[in-house]
Amino acid sequence: MNIGDVIVKTLEDIGVDTIFGGSGQSDSDILFALEKSKKIKTVIIRNEQAASFMACGYAMFSNKLGVCFSTAGPGVINLFSGVAVALSDSLPILCISPYAPKEYRGKGDLGETTGLHRTPDTQAMFRATTKGAFMIERPEQTCDILEEAINLAFEGRPGPVNLHVDYNIMKVEVPNVRPIKLEIRPVLPLAKNVEQFADALAGLLEKKKKVVALLGYGCVRSGAEKELLAFVEKFQIPFMTTMDGKGMLPEDHPLHLGMTGISGDLGAKRAFKEADAVIAIGNSFAKWSTWMFNKDLFADKLLFRINIDPHEISRYYQADYYMVSDVKPAIQKLNESLGRRVSRVEKAAMPVEKKFADEKIDHKGPKIHPGQLVQEISKHLPEKSIILGDAGAHMLWLAAYLKLTKGQNYQNPGSFGPMAVNVNSSIGIKCAVPERTVVAAVGDGDYQMAGFELMTAVENKIPVVWVIFNNNEFNIIKMFQLRIRKAEVFNRFLNPNFKAYAEACGALGFRVEKIEDFAPAFQKALASGKPALIDVVVEPDIYPPFNPYNEPAKP
């Protein structure tokens, strides 16, 4: 077996069944190795950036390794946006990229990225944007390096790794082929930290102090739904979520406060402000969920933290009690320890404010209210669906007005936040969990950055539904400019006929201009089993909820 064959066989052995990449000269040997595989589907994309986003999606709601690859030079550099997403959003992906052979380095090889003589240095670039950058330069290194790289991707807080391969040796036989060993050690809490955490929390509950839980995407990745539900119900702890934690516990649960942050529910905001203690579980205190890093958030309250990454514990807000742990085992231990200390808890008092998702929107304008559109999506979203926002105002409408109750999940672009990431990651998600419905609800600006991958979905029969919020502008940028400068510039653009484009690609296409026409189009798209695009004309001069921490709440 040559190096290309060994890489593909290793990916097969660890359960990878789809990988995403671009065709080129220097990655031809990996392409031929993939062509022989009976277990891996290879999705060839239109742009390598999309491959990296799809690899992120593949890892997002599964326990699988996302894999992307490219040809050398510009193909490799196109992968960096997705690699950066994986680093900031804790997604295990492997990025495979060819590298100039030793005999060509510094001579100006086509696509050379050695850093020599005015060439980019992708080794340095990957070291700065991954958990580890590796290089195979001798065939006998192949299995050892693959083992180290893949284990590192999953170890502790997951993230991306890069594998450069000298493209002239890719076809050389590997003399010491062996299966790699995955030895991923779980991150478990220290017993003393569990006891300190439980002691302090028990004291607060016994004194009937106001305690709330804040649940983030780490809870979703950990698969801790059952343990967290038992925790909040047994100890009557009201809970709120970050954007990416939405849906991990049912949002119609009596203890659900809503979403936190600057576009969050008013009851969640009030409960957060009035709390004596906040238990932050599997979240990273991103900009919008902390009301733009408000320095006084925990000035008058205790902070309990559970996070897999020790650097997150007190990165900005000092934790009073903490557990460095994967969420699931931490909550299991906490349930046991707290249960020995607290036998009975009174039913929690909940705020009276309605959530945005339950708001009755009375809109008479000529275009569709974005909040109404999101509520319609919620009504017709199948069980266990995954719905994605992208970068823009629509993301805030989705986060505020979605009501996820049936094992559904929501994901936004994360703290790195490139436009179009979820336009493309949706394809990777559907490949990883084909039994779940995947809907990408995206802005018109987002879609035009990467919508040509619709052809990739059609070609590979990947039935994602895209819903475009069409307002012919960068709406959230306009909103911020108007708030800060009382004027706005360079936000308007022309849109194509999205319906005609979808049909030209062989997908289903719909155009919706009245809210009552959305549900029939959405239901047809969901039932079709084909890629589908729904172009929805939304009102550009209505903005999502935006409630700064120290201002009175304004619905």
Tell me the average pLDDT across 220-224: 95
Which H/E stretch holds residue 535?
A: strand 532-537
Among the residues of 164-275, which ranges form H helices? 191-206, 217-222, 225-234, 266-274
Q: How far apart are CA 455 and CA 265, in angstroms?
A: 38
Mark whether 333 and 367 lie in a shared domain.
Answer: no
Under a CB-based contact definition with an 8 Å cutoff, are residues 94 and 66 in contact?
yes
What sign does the CA torsion over 267, 270, 274, 276 have?
positive
Tell me the average pLDDT across 368-382: 97
Distance of CA 381 to the CA centre of its chain: 19
Mark whether 337 and 363 lie in a shared domain.
Answer: no
Mark whether 437 and 516 lie in a shared domain.
Answer: yes
Span 308-321, pLDDT tens digits:
999 999 999 999 99
Q: Which token pair is 368?
A: 């569709």
Span 7-33, pLDDT tens digits:
999 999 999 999 999 998 888 899 999
Mark whether 16 and 160 lie in a shared domain.
Answer: yes
Mark whether 85 and 221 lie in a shared domain.
Answer: no
Mark whether 145 and 200 lie in a shared domain.
Answer: no
- pLDDT for the residue 416: 87
The answer to whether residue 547 is domain-embedded is no
Mark whether 256 and 195 lie in a shared domain.
Answer: yes
Those residues whose C-beta lies under 8 Å from the C-beta of residue 349, and which sit 6 or more positions away, are none
Phi, psi dihedral angles at 419 (to 5 degrees): -65, 145
Domain carrying residue 265: 191-341
Mark whether 198 and 258 lie in a shared domain.
Answer: yes
The answer to whether residue 548 is domain-embedded is no
Taking 3-state DSSP, the helix, strand and coil percentages for the chain, each rounded to the nearest 5, stand at 40, 15, 45
Q: How far apart are CA 200 and CA 152, in angstroms?
A: 35
Q: How many domains does the chain have?
A: 3
The answer to whether residue 179 is domain-embedded is no
The answer to whether residue 183 is domain-embedded is no
To the question of pTM greater than 0.85 for the whole model, the response is yes
The answer to whether residue 171 is domain-embedded is no
What sign does the CA torsion over 323, 325, 331, 334 have?
negative
The answer to whether residue 419 is domain-embedded is yes
Q: Is the pLDDT of residue 204 over 50?
A: yes
CATH classification at residue 430: 3.40.50.970
Q: Is the pLDDT of residue 555 over 50?
A: no
Distance of CA 331 to the CA centre of its chain: 22
Mark whether 162 and 201 lie in a shared domain.
Answer: no
- Cα 254 to Cα 204, 295, 521: the distances in Å are 21, 31, 33
The answer to whether residue 402 is domain-embedded is yes
Q: How far apart are CA 26 and CA 214, in angstroms?
A: 47
- pLDDT for the residue 457: 98
Better-scored residue on pLDDT, 143 or 344: 143
Mark whether 297 and 260 lie in a shared domain.
Answer: yes
Q: How far apart are CA 338 and CA 211, in angstroms?
A: 14
Mark whether 384 and 298 lie in a shared domain.
Answer: no
Q: How far apart are CA 91 and CA 116, in angstroms?
A: 31
The answer to whether residue 293 is domain-embedded is yes
CATH classification at residue 291: 3.40.50.1220
Mark whether 361 and 337 lie in a shared domain.
Answer: no
Residue that terminates a domain, selected from 341, 376, 411:
341
Residue that terminates a domain, selected from 166, 182, 205:
166
